[in-house]
Structure 1
Amino acid sequence: MIDRARFESADELVLCHALEKLRTREGLRPARLQAEARVVAEPLLSLSAVRRHSAIFDLDLAHAAVAVVGECVQDGLNGTDRIVADAVLGLGLFRDRYLRRGMGARDVDGVYSDLLSRRRRSLLANWSGLHEALDAEPIERPSDRALRGSLEGLLLRELSRQLVLRETHSVGASNAPARLRPGELTGATLNGHRQGRVVVIGAAVMDATFKTKSIPARETSNEAYAFQLSPGGKGLNQAVAAARLGLDVSLLAAVADDRFGDEIVDYLRRENVDTSMIKQVPDAQTAFTGIIEFELGDSIAVNWRNERELRIDARDIDRCLPQIAEADAVLITFEIPRDSLERATARLREPGYRHVTVIVTPGQPYSNAGVSGQALAEVDYLVAHPWELGRYGPSSDGPLDVDVVARQLLAYGVETLCVPLAGGCTIYSATELGTFAVPTFPSAYKETSASRDAFCAALAAKLIDNLKEFSEGVALWATAAMAAAAADYPLPNPMPDRRRVDQLLTRSRFQVAPRSVPPESVPLVSDVSSAVRSPE
């Protein structure tokens, strides 16, 4: 079996992410690669080895990529690894051989089904027969969990290594990189935008959402008019939102190794979020959030994080630091322990690492204290609701003054504070932009729990587009994404793509006008939230 060695290069890591996403649904088929050429399949299609194969054999890039991967499976893998990789990726390399050796057509069709789940079931059900057909010595049949949780990952890692080797050892290889043909893809852009790499560090839980018109009084009950059980959590929502915007996204979170944890991981993969950094904890219970949601989208919630079993600790941060440090932006939520958050921000600012944009969401606020001033100094963008900021202002029994808190946070070293409120947003920046308001985009629905997550993802996307330069236009685009998520609240998953955000901006008459007056003279938020305090 394949050794569990770490990735030897960033190229291997990127290719492994792509293969992991492409194994879903019908697998690695030319039509799939063509349909997702500008997002998921781009790292594979842009390989020099694939381009050389395409030129030599006069194939389009999609068919050439499938052929190159097939060669890696047949030439670089042996026995069980070859059988599993062929089935999981849906390559169909051994279909004729299976049929010639007497396997039933129905069983073979199952091994190459258009559904990954069915391919896995058929693979395990026909384990001995598949090995006999290829004259391979079978190992003990793995469990479904072992197949999905370890064996497939090791195979994809090895395939990515084989593909990188073919960059210099395949037919027609040379030391010079292959030239792009006119109109072909490059890794730098996606529909005119930089694709970018984002890592989200937060929680992935199950949401139990009760939709009702009113809160029942104590010791009474109300009937809900709808109920939904679905994956959630700020970390998960931000990762999905970033993927919808065309970013290459990985999520670092801890989930239980139970049926709900599997459902969370499967959902992330369907949304094109890389799950290689997900920590699945055996014999643990899935974390849940109970949500009471009202007709217009506003809600209240109770969280059970199961922090004793499910937590991202400092060791997890250190383990994943190479991947985290390669990102263009890192989104962190207070769903992870405070010491883990402080560890992440400190490690990313160590000498030798390039500057990674750090965007932090302080929800749910830590119950006993805020984060240290040293950690705040490493935050580029803090995206916070007014009630979450109470711990960061001067100690006082009076009403919360967000403007005072904002000045305090900027003094700690936070570069920019974004305060979304009622569909709009107030920006406090330590740069020459100063303080300004982004207007509200009208919507029949109130801000939903996920709309701020859309803001954070869009902020990262637009900063990557603008080579990390923050501007009024960046703030407006992120606010439009937040408004789109709120306006589309009735949809099953309202996270917008770029087209939806641009559509909302096109229809809006609003424009951002930066404020040049000093922050202390502009009571932008405190006027409407002076009575809001952080809950104990």
Structure 2
Amino acid sequence: MTGIVVLGSTNMDLVVHVPRAPLRGETVTGREFRTVPGGKGANQAVAAARAGGDVAMIGAVGTDDYGAVLRETLEHSAVDTDLLRTAEGPSGTAHIVVDDEGGNAIVVIPGANATVDHLTPGDETLIGAADALLLQLELPLAGVIAGAEAAHRHGVRTVLTPAPARSLPPELLAVTDLLVPNEHEAALLTGIADPPAAAEALLREVPEVVITLGSAGSIHAARDTGIVTVPAPRVRAVDTTAAGDTFVGALTVALVEGRPTAEAMAWASTAAALSVQRPGASTSMPYRPEIDAGRLEGATDG
């Protein structure tokens, strides 16, 4: 059995570092350019695998050079890619600007990801044998819904990251077990800026919610419990690009292992704190021994 299946995107991240992001119509001079394997789906798969999960990836790469690198990156982190399709044409790309404060702005070009608008029989078989299915919104919505409905039919827990942020159709919410937005996505989904109040509103749509709050930690809400806040370690961020994906991947591993939710969130926050101290997306993600040790070399007081 594969513990965690990820149905999601694979992108090559084209990353430029600048002192500050340009304003509209402005040109600024960057100091570094790198290509880094990424995509929210692939990032979550790598994060979960490095955190100790047994992980398989469903998605698509292109026939370009990026596609080969993306597949190899997943396999290097022990992610099963047997059902990662190869689609004629370019792979997905993400164009990322990272500023000196560690913030980022991203433009995604779907490429091969746009072909994942349905499941194959093999996809459903793999999903049905899993403990959890991770989903995001960088694939066509029809493919995301098909995956979530397949998981629901087989009693497999669905974990949805609603990013890039957009309104969610009722048929997807109906088969979502755990929704994990950040505070901005939660506000967009509910029209409520206050995260605890947004979490309460989201519980009318899904049974369980974790909202990530960046350096302020995360909150958990479920229909049969109150709201629990879990703080995050304080560290000096270098690049926050994959922090949310690192959190979700590690969180799902911990939940599949049966850990209490607050403990799982704290462990996932340590993983995310480690990731933001390093540049890149998948390249920044910590391995399980690092998370267990909680080695936060860039930690700050207070």
Cα 1:217/1:393, change in 2 over 3 Å: closer
Among 458, 471, 493, the alignment partner of 2:283 is 493
Give yes or no for the alignment of 1:383 onto 2:180.
yes
Q: Which residue in the other structure is 1:323 paired with?
A: 126
Q: Which residue in the other structure is 1:419 paired with?
A: 212
Between the aligned partners of 2:8 and 2:34, the Cα distance in structure 1 is: 22
Between the aligned partners of 2:247 and 2:159, the Cα distance in structure 1 is: 11
TM-score (norm 1): 0.52
Which amino acid in the other structure matches residue 292 of structure 2?
D
* Matching of residues 88-127 of structure 1 within 5 Å: none
C-alpha deviation, 1:441, in angstroms: 0.6
TM-score (norm 2): 0.89
Between the aligned partners of 1:286 and 1:392, the Cα distance in structure 2 is: 29
Among 56, 78, 82, the alignment partner of 1:250 is 56
Runs of 4+ in 1 over 6 A off after TM superposition: 505-508
Between the aligned partners of 1:491 and 1:375, the Cα distance in structure 2 is: 27
Cα 1:400/1:220, change in 2 over 3 Å: closer
Give yes or no for the alignment of 1:314 onto 2:126.
no
C-alpha deviation, 1:313, in angstroms: 1.4
Q: Is the 8 A contact 1:357 1:380 kept in 2?
A: yes
Give yes or no for the alignment of 1:404 onto 2:201.
no
Cα 1:505/1:373, change in 2 over 3 Å: farther
Between the aligned partners of 1:244 and 1:423, the Cα distance in structure 2 is: 24
Q: Which residue in the other structure is 2:93 paired with?
A: 288
Cα 1:504/1:277, change in 2 over 3 Å: same
* Matching of residues 348-387 of structure 1 within 5 Å: 348-350=151-153, 353=154, 355-366=155-166, 370-387=167-184
Q: Is the 8 A contact 2:4 2:133 kept in 1?
A: yes
Q: Is the 8 A contact 1:206 1:288 kept in 2?
A: yes
C-alpha deviation, 1:453, in angstroms: 0.9
Match of 2:276, SS? helix
1:450-509: CA deviations, max 9, x gaps? 11111111111111221xx6432122111111112123447982211122112228999x
C-alpha deviation, 1:211, in angstroms: 0.6
Between the aligned partners of 1:199 and 1:492, the Cα distance in structure 2 is: 17
Which amino acid in the other structure matches residue 379 of structure 1?
T
Q: Is the 8 A contact 1:231 1:267 kept in 2?
A: yes
Which amino acid in the other structure matches residue 371 of structure 1?
L
Q: Which residue in the other structure is 1:461 paired with?
A: 253
C-alpha deviation, 1:423, in angstroms: 5.1
1:303-355: CA deviations, max 9, x gaps? 11137x73311234x441001111111111111122222222222222xx2x3
Give yes or no for the alignment of 1:201 onto 2:3.
no
Which amino acid in the other structure matches residue 346 of structure 1?
E
Q: Which residue in the other structure is 2:105 paired with?
A: 300
C-alpha deviation, 1:221, in angstroms: 2.5
* Matching of residues 254-269 of structure 1 within 5 Å: 254-269=60-75
Between the aligned partners of 1:202 and 1:480, the Cα distance in structure 2 is: 24
* Matching of residues 104-253 of structure 1 within 5 Å: 197-253=3-59
Between the aligned partners of 1:201 and 1:247, the Cα distance in structure 2 is: 15
Between the aligned partners of 1:504 and 1:429, the Cα distance in structure 2 is: 27
Between the aligned partners of 2:84 and 2:216, the Cα distance in structure 1 is: 32
Between the aligned partners of 2:32 and 2:296, the Cα distance in structure 1 is: 34
Among 256, 270, 283, the alignment partner of 1:480 is 270
C-alpha deviation, 1:218, in angstroms: 4.5
Cα 1:489/1:315, change in 2 over 3 Å: closer
1:357-416: CA deviations, max 9, x gaps? 2111111123xxx2223422322221111221244326xxxx634333322211113323
Between the aligned partners of 1:333 and 1:458, the Cα distance in structure 2 is: 15
Among 227, 232, 256, the alignment partner of 1:435 is 227
C-alpha deviation, 1:447, in angstroms: 6.5
Between the aligned partners of 1:483 and 1:504, the Cα distance in structure 2 is: 9
Match of 1:482, SS? helix
Cα 1:491/1:296, change in 2 over 3 Å: farther
In structure 2, the gaps of 5 or more residues are none
**Greater relative contact order structure (CA < 8 Å, 6+ sep):** 2
Cα 1:458/1:281, change in 2 over 3 Å: same
Between the aligned partners of 1:313 and 1:411, the Cα distance in structure 2 is: 28
Q: Is the 8 A contact 1:381 1:418 kept in 2?
A: no
Give yes or no for the alignment of 1:335 onto 2:135.
no
Cα 1:415/1:219, change in 2 over 3 Å: closer
Identity within the alignment, %? 25
C-alpha deviation, 1:214, in angstroms: 1.8
Q: Is the 8 A contact 1:239 1:249 kept in 2?
A: yes
Cα 1:305/1:490, change in 2 over 3 Å: closer
Q: Is the 8 A contact 1:201 1:331 kept in 2?
A: yes
Cα 1:229/1:491, change in 2 over 3 Å: closer
C-alpha deviation, 1:228, in angstroms: 0.3
Q: Answer 1 or 2: which has greater strand percent.
A: 2
Between the aligned partners of 1:268 and 1:490, the Cα distance in structure 2 is: 15
Q: Answer 1 or 2: which has greater helix percent.
A: 1
C-alpha deviation, 1:421, in angstroms: 2.3
